[in-house]
Structure 1
Amino acid sequence: MTAQNVGAALEKLVAFTSKIEWDDIPQAVKTRAAFVLADDIGAMVAARAEPELIALQNGVAASAGPPEATLFNAMGTRLDRYSAALANGCASDWAELDEGYRRVICHAGIYCLPALLAEAEAENHTTADLLRALVLGYETVARVARCFTFPNLVLHPHGSLAAVGGAAALCALRRLPEDVTIGAISSAATMVLPGPYTHPIKGSLCRNIWPGISAQTAMRAVDWVGHGIKGLPSALHDVYADAFGAAPDAAELGEGLGEAWAISDGYHKVFACCQYGHATIEANLKLAQQADPNEIESIHLVTHEKARIMDNPDPDTTISGKFSMQHIAATSALNRSGGFEAFSAQVLSDPKVAALRQKVTMSAYDPVPGWPNDRPTRVEWTMKNGRQLTQEVMSARGGPDLPFGPDEIRTKIEGIVAPAYPAMFGILDIILALDTEALNASWRETVAGMTSG
């Protein structure tokens, strides 16, 4: 019966999303979608110099078909839409600067956008078409994430959710019938990746490719459903509950539609690491105003469970550094920063940072309050002279409870894209203002303008 309930709830959700037009979406939600678009393109651009990513994208380009869509690598590369979705998807999470969904563990924006960007450019959709599909795909995959909750942090959502988000978003862009959309989403659910959460913590860069592989998978799932290749209506339950062991709640899929939009509960990041460590960085930056971090003897973190899982004092790759609470604490303290450079390969091997990592300990924050203060951290510095300093952050900035101002996000995006694409931010800024002419413009022409010069 539970599987039937989930299937019925998916039908209700798709019936709702299929009828939504751009003009039906509230203005504030449209603005949020534009910021997610701009922020996640910025995250793709930010990763352009990562050597492993360059090698991966060069390999994809070597076997790609005729050019249809742009790769945001500042090299003028255009590939077939499937290869572009794969390559941009792999870039989207590499720098750890992409937007995320705060209610549950889900980076819905980068689960939808790699496929959408490629398809919208290849088929010459408008910017408004792209943003509409982003809102609807985001709504779908965020509700799937809320519907199926896990008792522990075993699966990384980049693997387990991204194909579903990509399929839902692409169906919305193509304006496919409800039954076809349900079949495509169900099919994509059977093709998700059981990516272990331990992999990024232990330094495996394969985690970074999960959104890219899933974007390409999503596109194929949508293509093939027209040939009768589709999943069963019970697929979401069969995969997430029966196979993966999640606790299902069908109401999360089909209740309250249109009352509150999932994309409104997203968060933005200015720190280039897992969001679970952002409270630690904020506390460190405040403590650095009170004392010289070079005089720290040790650091103790009283923090939430999701942060304590990221326990690795010896990270050996940039991804493991971004998922190591010891490295997050040490580098943000000594460098007085949580930006991209604080998590570079050079800083990872810095002897001073490495030494301080060995002196970072953790214990449980108990009891942990409810949302949005469910990721708190108290940072305690012990100085070499014996002095004790403490700073507590209940909720890191960036989410709907403590959002960054629009100008702060604009500044972040401009700082990333301007060196690579001088014309990009000016065009994105016009889209952020929901300029009618920009929204009705061809996405293909918009991308050409952003990447020119």
Structure 2
Amino acid sequence: MNQTDEFSAGLNRLCEWVTACRWEDMPESVRKRAVLVLSDDISAMIAGSLEPEPARYREKVLSRPRCAESAVFAAGLPAADRFQAASLNALAGNWCELDEGFRRTICHAGIYVLPALLAEAQALGLRYTQVLRALVLAYEVVTRIAMSFRFAQPAVHGHALWSSIGAAAGVVIARGGNAAELFGAVTAAATTASMGPRPHLVEGVLVRNGWAAAGAVNGLQCADWAACGIQGAESSIPAVYRDILGAAENFNALDDQLGIEWSIASGYHKIYACCQHGHSAVEAVLELVRSHALDAGRIRSIVVYTHPLALTLSNPEPSTTLGAKFSMPHMVAAPFVFGTGSARAFSSDALHDPQVAHLRRIVELRPYEEALVPPHDRPAKVVILTTEGRVHESECLSAQGGPDRPLPESVLEQKIRELSVPVLPGLASLLAPDSIARLGSTPWGELLDMLR
């Protein structure tokens, strides 16, 4: 069996397992994680909807004649056709860097799956538990495909690489498609991957926030195509990621421990409004601020020892708030000044703050000196020298929010409640222990009306 055949066999096994897996087969912990991911990502969509660029795009889209079949998570909960709703919600959902992510490889599976899935679910009248089932299983598909390919130096961003696969999987599963249809849709979706340059993150190029939206639309389209026999081939996915983009293969990831280890259980949630690669540094800085009552104006030098992914985020002069979210110098400097890693530290005011700008310029990034073994593979140690000659340091081996250091549910509930108030003030109520039992059979559209 050659490598392409090996991949195809593994993907077939994955698709067969996914389409046979029932909601009743999922452990209680996995069901609970699905609710957390759903609620967290919808709250991120609502937060992004308030930003000026997504708001202008939404106004443009909604000014055109449209079929009102799926909700847009913005003020008034307007409706659009499923393609437009998926695009708008995906764009907003990753705008503020508050959506959840997957810890085992670079793959924000929730924001790849949910915009298309939720649009389709409302149009079809799916029940709440059907939505959650499709989320869990599509999350499994896209993360296992992403883990099957390793890039030594990623040149293309994960949102561009994987979003169409997650969207296609979610829609096919929502429609009750069989294994062959799922196989055909995700292989087709891989060929629509965008070539989104990873350096655009550091440069703050705003089109980066559009890659997940493009993937949502492409995934929906590929699900439609697959249902009509317009599908990818066994070679499609390896051809894109291995042959064109040069990834190394790890095809065991497709079905290793399938049904025992659930990908959605390896997700992380954010309370810092920036790239997760820098969360350990943010946490280390906040510990310094708490422990030493530091005056940011008395810091002479800042040295940050951190992991390779963070070392690439080295721009000391970000020109946009997106650039600030992917600038390690800003991720370190702003919390010293503002005492928080929340959206305030990555606002336009923070970007242009003179004291933050000064601190960004004195941040020096160095490789972390110890072995990087998961879950301590994204650490940071921050060492500062004050103008009085005092040295202070703080180290964070793994930021809170991941499977090894989960956020207290009360903290995550507060985040969801605060972000969702403008549109769905009842969203955080989905985290109640009995919510699935009470609401599981409710159609998704009706549930949204109940949460308003």
- Whether TM exceeds 0.5 here: the answer is yes
Structure 1: gaps of 5 or more residues: none
Is the Cα contact below 8 Å between 2:416 and 2:427 reproduced in 1?
A: no
1:353: which partner in 2? 356
1:379: which partner in 2? 382
1:50: which partner in 2? 51
For each residue in 1:254-312, what CA deviation from the matched residue of structure 2 results, as whole angstroms up to 9, or x when unmatched?
A: 22211110000000000000001101111111100213232222211011111110010
Q: Which amino acid aligns with 2:425?
A: P
In the alignment, is residue 203 of structure 1 matched against residue 204 of structure 2? Answer: yes
Q: How many residues matched?
A: 449
For each residue in 1:222-253, what CA deviation from the matched residue of structure 2 results, as whole angstroms up to 9, or x when unmatched?
A: 00112221110221111111111111121111
Task: Provide the secondary structure at the position in 2 that maps to 1:98.
Answer: coil
1:440: which partner in 2? 441
In structure 2, how many angstroms separate the alpha carbons of the residues matched to 1:387 and 1:67? 62
The structural deviation recorded for 1:221 is 0.3
Distance 1:64 1:299, change over 3 A: farther
The structural deviation recorded for 1:196 is 1.1
Task: Provide the secondary structure at the position in 1 that maps to 2:129.
Answer: helix
The structural deviation recorded for 1:369 is 2.0
In structure 2, how many angstroms separate the alpha carbons of the residues matched to 1:181 and 1:303? 40
1:85: which partner in 2? 86
In the alignment, is residue 20 of structure 1 matched against residue 21 of structure 2? Answer: yes
Q: Report the more deviating stretch, 230-239 or 94-103.
A: 230-239
1:411: which partner in 2? 414
For each residue in 1:28-56, what CA deviation from the matched residue of structure 2 results, as whole angstroms up to 9, or x when unmatched?
A: 00000000000000101111221111112
The structural deviation recorded for 1:64 is 5.4
Is the Cα contact below 8 Å between 1:377 and 1:393 reproduced in 2?
A: yes
Is the Cα contact below 8 Å between 1:368 and 1:375 reproduced in 2?
A: no
CA-atom RMSD in angstroms:
1.2
Is the Cα contact below 8 Å between 1:329 and 1:357 reproduced in 2?
A: yes
In structure 1, how many angstroms separate the alpha carbons of the residues matched to 2:108 and 2:336? 27
In structure 1, how many angstroms separate the alpha carbons of the residues matched to 2:280 and 2:442? 40
Q: Which amino acid aligns with 1:139?
A: E
1:393: which partner in 2? 396
In the alignment, is residue 368 of structure 1 matched against residue 374 of structure 2? Answer: no
The structural deviation recorded for 1:149 is 0.7
Is the Cα contact below 8 Å between 2:75 and 2:422 reproduced in 1?
A: no
The structural deviation recorded for 1:111 is 0.7
Task: Provide the secondary structure at the position in 2 that maps to 1:161.
Answer: helix
Is the Cα contact below 8 Å between 1:374 and 1:395 reproduced in 2?
A: yes
The structural deviation recorded for 1:356 is 1.1
In the alignment, is residue 329 of structure 1 matched against residue 328 of structure 2? Answer: no
In structure 2, how many angstroms separate the alpha carbons of the residues matched to 1:61 and 1:420? 17
In the alignment, is residue 277 of structure 1 matched against residue 287 of structure 2? Answer: no
For each residue in 1:63-104, what CA deviation from the matched residue of structure 2 results, as whole angstroms up to 9, or x when unmatched?
A: 352111111112332111110000000011101001100011
In the alignment, is residue 292 of structure 1 matched against residue 294 of structure 2? Answer: yes
Task: Provide the secondary structure at the position in 1 that maps to 2:440.
Answer: helix
1:35: which partner in 2? 36
For each residue in 1:200-222, what CA deviation from the matched residue of structure 2 results, as whole angstroms up to 9, or x when unmatched?
A: 11010101011111101100100
In structure 1, how many angstroms separate the alpha carbons of the residues matched to 2:170 and 2:49? 25
Is the Cα contact below 8 Å between 1:153 and 1:306 reproduced in 2?
A: no
Q: Which amino acid aligns with 1:43?
A: A
In structure 1, how many angstroms separate the alpha carbons of the residues matched to 2:20 and 2:248? 29
Is the Cα contact below 8 Å between 2:98 and 2:270 reproduced in 1?
A: yes
In structure 1, how many angstroms separate the alpha carbons of the residues matched to 2:392 and 2:164? 45
Q: Which amino acid aligns with 1:197?
A: R
